Structure 1
Amino acid sequence: MLDIKALRADPEAIAALLKKKGFDLDVATFSELEERRKSIQMETENLQQSRNSVSKQIGSAMKAGDKALADDLKAQTATLGDDLAKAKEQLNDVQSELEALLESIPNIPHSSVPEGATEDDNVEVRRWGTHRTFDFDIKDHVDVGAELGMLDFEVAAKITGSRFAVMRSDLARLHRALTQFMLNTHIEEHGYSEVYVPYLVNAASLKGTGQLPKFEADLFKVPVDKDSGNSDLYLIPTAEVPVTNIVRDEILNDAELHQQYVAHTPCFRSEAGSYGRDTRGMIRQHQFEKVELVHVCRPDRSEEILEQLVGHAEVILQKLNLPYRTVILCGGDLGFSAYKTYDIEVWLPGQQKFREISSCSNMGDFQARRMQARWRNPETGKPELAHTLNGSGLAVGRTLVAVLENYQNEDGSVTVPEVLVPYMGGKTQIG
């Protein structure tokens, strides 16, 4: 959530910055709501002061023995009380409207974010690795998996529906091996603390990280028996939600920053806005797994930590010897909560293109303001908003896709990347 004080000070300036994201801030509506709020708030304060003043006069009249005056003043107090209650109700209503408007406004992009409207305008910052040369017809991961007899979309459709997959035998083991390899690398080499988190979260958690209210259509909602006293829950779209909310409503000491967490979870997305896209294979599934990296840090370190975060995700691809490129997202492709984002795109021979495998974002204080995640600045002794960052390290299913396509062999087998051989019980090939 943006700083309401900054919006009040210069809404036109904020609107100009948001143009880079392709977002049109309704300055007129915001200004009109603000004028109403100020007017009603002033009326409320005046009524409160008047009631307090009259209440004091009642005491004086009672001491003087003037019952008639006291009764008259009591009647005035009752009338002022009714007017005050109505004013407070109006103030709550306009503040709710302001809150709803604020929740719909995305984060402001960093000054280094390039101009642009779509992913075609993203700017490449580096490439790593060499594309493998094949002397046979390249298959995509769907055909590689089918030839292995280990990847089945038809059975998954029978069990559940479209956009799910069943993996068998060594392919399921390879998927698990990738997960363990990623976790171990981030914990042992990059210093992350592993956390296990719920796969169901409440609405407050989703509001805290910016998925609600804007992206409710992309979520799987799980109704809860109201008699239990619980509110409805949602399946997590990413581990970013439960992990980042660990610090919701907390005030951390400076010594506790920075915090860096890694979590492996399934992720569930309805992909409401993606019908017709990537319907073949495992690129865009309703259920998939990720190893997620989350940072909570001092504001003056978040840009530095974003670069570290991207590097940590890139290391996984380098160890797997998978060619990739890293791009900085343009304003129009930047996520709702993101201040600045790098996407890492892995090379898929079956598609002859780079595809996103990790998105690493600095959210600034946008999520922290929604969550009230703060740290106590030792220089001032006062609580201040922390900065939050997150990124995939990596999306496990898409990494499996990249391994199948880049390590396929002419006979239909798949070579196991060297770094995964110990996780595969010494197997160097599946098929």
Structure 2
Amino acid sequence: MKLKKVSPAQLLFFIYLSAAAVSSILLYLPFSHKPGVDVDFLDALFTAVSAISVTGLTVVNTAETFSPVGVFLLMVMNQFGGIGFMTLSTFLWMATGQRIGIQRRQMIMLDQNRSDLSGLVRLMRDLLVLSLAIEAVGALILGTYFYFSYPYGKNAFLYGIFSSISAFTNAGFDIFGNSLIGFSEDYIVQSVNIALMVAGGIGFPVLMELKEWFLSGNRRNFRFSLFTKITVTTYFVLLILGTGVLWLLETPHFYADQSWHRSFFYSLFNSVTARSGGLATMDINEYTTPSQLFLSFLMFIGASPSSVGGGIRTTTLAVVALAVYNYARGQRYIRVFRRELLDEDVRKASVVFSTGVLLLAVSVFLVSVEQPQHTLMEVMFEVSSAFGTCGLSMGITPELTAAGKISIMVLMFMGRIGILVLLFLLRRQTPPETYHYPRERVIIG
């Protein structure tokens, strides 16, 4: 098959697939492991897919398994999957003076979930610089704090760099051995990680507009895009709602013997990390079933479009909710923030939402068949975590069978490249329709 005949969606799909394959080989080789530690190829592949998809689900303990070389490779994979292949590629193309043609621009548009081709090269350049700057600030703060507050010695800044990259890319990997459970009472470490996860999950277009607003000489008259308004509103409504619901659900149970500030940070951190972060300050099994189900819902939604996170994304939920609300009120057009939404965007959100629900239901069924020893809640939580590229787990990941691992890998991969890219893989170039059949109504609902 000639490269020109391959669609941008197909090419992007094979690039991420190839990256996962190469990464699995690198993680399988002995130099990636600590002395005396063996990792079979399926576990190396699972870890590679989890790193490329910035999910964080693992079947091995990262701190006990991987050597400094392996840890460095995981950081590179997290960057590749989080910031995106096309962002890094655009930088290399510009650095080597290569022409960025229409096919490459179409791949950038798909990778970043954009709707037009204009300004993409400059966007990629600014996005890379801004992302690296945020990660550098996070690494400096965490590394310095680890050095003076914990007995990590010369490894403090290595921990800071890895933690900053993992949090900003929402990868969910850790090299402490127990995620951030050891920092359950350290609100400084938690606050920095929360800020990094929010920065990575709220969406790159939002970050770029915030940068433009900050540098603008007339901030009062600066107009944010409708995308940014919907994204920020939905993201923080879900964050606040998640914190409040978890607090209410667990106050009579897990929080019964906890101080108010510890309960608050547990709720806040879990509300943020369930959106795609994957880091944990507690054992999720301590929560009651309603809280675990609610976290599954948050993971299914995921982060914002054009971010490091997966799931159906925040704008999808917002547009579907607005469509239902306006339909119930008998309104034909969807108006929000003094703007009207395009019918195409409403259809797109409906397709993504319905496809996500169908994919989740089928995956829960298949994994339940493959893992009959686990409860439905455990399976649903694991599947939602994989689809949302979150990485939280109730502890069943290392116990997955070979078939179960493959199913979760497929979900993580789908969550990273996105439902729209998956659907675009099925598209074929067809001639324009020259005729229409008579229209007829059907009964709905």
Whether the TM-score (by the shorter chain) exceeds 0.5 is no
TM-score range, shorter chain: under 0.3
**Higher-helix-fraction structure:** 2
Which protein shows a greater Rg?
1
TM-score using structure 1 length: 0.26
TM-score using structure 2 length: 0.25
